[in-house]
Chains A and B, each alone.
Chain A
Amino acid sequence: MALDRSDVEKIAHLARLGLNDADIPRTTEALNSILGLVDQMQAVDTAGIEPLAHPLEASQRLREDVVSEANHRDSYQAIAPAVEDGLYLVPKVID
């Protein structure tokens, strides 16, 4: 499997990365070499092997349902670019 320019443009858009025209061939090549490695791994016979969800052979520890976080809004909002009425302001996301 190999990616072409339009695949890379699409992925860049999904990841909100602004690639300029000059970057695209280099990025395409880099991604394709990663996929080449994946192709190599695809050749391994994995019949009967359970898919790996996590490299550590451990299971998730669960937390008791207790509120442990106090309200630190003021300190969190001190570093936000824009706030109003306790809300974080971001560029408008609908027209």
Chain B
Amino acid sequence: MQWEVVIGLEIHTQLTTQSKIFSGSATTFGSEPNTQASLVDLGMPGTLPVLNKEAVQMAVKFGLAIDAEIGQHNVFARKNYFYPDLPKGYQISQMELPIVGKGHLDITLEDGTIKRIGVTRAHLEEDAGKSLHEDYSGMTGIDLNRAGTPLLEIVSEPDMRSAKEAVAYVKAMHALVRYLGICDGNMAEGSLRCDCNVSIRPKGQVEFGTRCEIKNVNSFRFIEKAINSEIQRQIDLIEDGGKVIQQTRLYDPNTNETRAMRSKEEANDYRYFPDPDLLPVIIEDSFLEQTRATLPELPPQKRERFQSQFGLSLYDASVLASSREQAEYFEQVVGIVGDAKLAANWVMVELGSLLNKTNSDMTKPPISAEQLGGMLLRIVDKTISGKIAKEILEAMLAGECVEIGIGSADEIIEQRGLKQVTDSGAIESILDDMLAANAEQVEQYRAADEAKRGKMFGFFVGQAMKASRGKANPGQVNELLKRKLEG
């Protein structure tokens, strides 16, 4: 049987406000437990929530960025459940009239095509505190610093058809909220969390299969693995004659399996109703226009501009535009070196592999745009070859020359004596010495027929480059060498 996978995602993004959504407590991550939990956050009787304007503005910004209708009349509701990480006994959320309505986000698939994913809605709500179940002799420890942190919950349409598409969507959403500056995207600290709804159906069937929800997956890699393991579980189950039961599941990275949460944990009946403590929120047209004016250039526009302004391919343009830091870095490098294709290659390929190697990302690149741009200038003016450039990159990574300057390519070239040799007299003398040392091979080359010569020629080029310690201009070496061997 051919199965089709259907995936919809709920992404919770913590908004980067200074204070909480309904109280004046700070939202700093990692503070001492309960030092950012005020009477409102503690759910004390007699306190009232007062909505944070910035949280509303951030939500509106997001809505505008995904082309959504903005709920100009929106209402907060109570979602009732008892759990000590939200001591009021309910979470203030939005049900009927969310702030962000239907919108969409485009993702770039691996084959370079663009797919549009629908966003059903996004609503504002408050985050819960943290429960610590270990170490407190039979008790649970509660830290309410996080309680009341503003969240924007972004609900997608069931538009994704593979784990890879789901990851591409989360990455695009991650990039977008960072572009907008409304969420720091730090998944390890829980600033962006994802629930995945997964179901399968026979290919061609119109109705959806029964779905399962995998709760709280917190890395791109785990999202892909969790979804794939859930897909396999559902296929195995159905092919063995079983039925998928709608339930909430948790992903365990250690076993690479999802398991059902106990039914007690999910026996929820939230009894939503409008929160009488909060009046309806009216978003005026003037507020919308003000907010629209603050929108930065977003990934799709950037991608198009990179294609038209720099002549980059769709793929290169979308990779470079995928994160704000990377796009800005690239533009800085282009600003220095002028050659956009060269800059794109080095940012995507060489810098990309350095990032992998050093386990870092574009928020803290190991080599600055000035350093990279300055070095590319030296490739363009033929001071160095591409091979030497890689050596210089390594040296920059090791922090070479920072003690005598800024660790620039010029400093490293000077210090290491890496300047490319383009003086043909000097190259000729290198070649003469090398050919003399390999007289036997020269004989063989001259005796060989044309077909065999190619490979042998490569040997001489290698020897010449080695003799010049990589500094001879490869083009000139080729040309002069050919002449001498024909000699």
Closest to B32 in A: A86
Contact A73 B37 (CB under 8 A): yes
Minimum distance in angstroms from A80 CB to a CB of chain B = 9
Q: Which residues of B contact A56 (CB under 8 A)?
A: 279
Q: Is A58 an interface residue (CB 8 A)?
A: yes
Once bound together, how far apart are the Cα atoms of A92 and B141, in whole Å? Answer: 8
Contact A16 B281 (CB under 8 A): no
Closest to B287 in A: A62
Q: Scoring A residues 75 to 92 as 1 if CB is less than 8 Å from chain B, else 0, what string do you get?
A: 011000010111111111
Contact A65 B18 (CB under 8 A): yes
Contact of B24 among A53, A67, A82, A85 (CB under 8 A): A67
Contact B280 A69 (CB under 8 A): no
- Counting contact residues on chain A (CB < 8 A from B), the size range is 35 or more
| A65 touching B53 in the complex, CB below 8 Å, given contacts A89-B140, A92-B140 | yes
Contact A67 B18 (CB under 8 A): yes
Q: Is A72 an interface residue (CB 8 A)?
A: yes
Q: Which residues of A contact B276 (CB under 8 A)?
A: 54
- Of B133, B278, B279, most buried by chain A (CB within 10 Å of CB) is B279
Contact of B35 among A61, A86, A89 (CB under 8 A): A86
Closest to B54 in A: A65
Once bound together, how far apart are the Cα atoms of A94 and B23, in whole Å? Answer: 29
Contact B38 A69 (CB under 8 A): yes
Contact A87 B38 (CB under 8 A): no
| A16 touching B142 in the complex, CB below 8 Å, given contacts A65-B17, A67-B19 | no
Q: In the complex, how many residues of chain B place their beta carbon closer than 8 angstroms to a beta carbon of chain A? A: 50
Q: Is A59 an interface residue (CB 8 A)?
A: yes
Contact A14 B271 (CB under 8 A): yes
Contact A67 B25 (CB under 8 A): yes
Q: Is B355 an interface residue (CB 8 A)?
A: no
Q: Which residues of A contact B34 (CB under 8 A)?
A: 73, 76-77, 86-88
Contact A53 B75 (CB under 8 A): yes
Of B76-84, B307-315, B381-389, which binds chain A? B76-84
Contact B138 A92 (CB under 8 A): yes
CB<8 Å pairs between A and B, sample of 19: A14-B269, A53-B75, A54-B75, A58-B279, A63-B50, A63-B53, A65-B52, A66-B19, A71-B36, A73-B35, A86-B33, A87-B33, A87-B143, A88-B142, A89-B142, A90-B139, A92-B133, A92-B140, A93-B131
Binding site for B on A (CB under 8 A): 10, 14, 16, 51, 53-54, 56, 58-69, 71-73, 76-77, 82, 84-94
Q: Which 9 A-B pairs give the minimum distances between C-beta atoms?
A: A68-B24, A87-B141, A65-B54, A62-B53, A86-B33, A69-B38, A59-B282, A60-B279, A89-B139
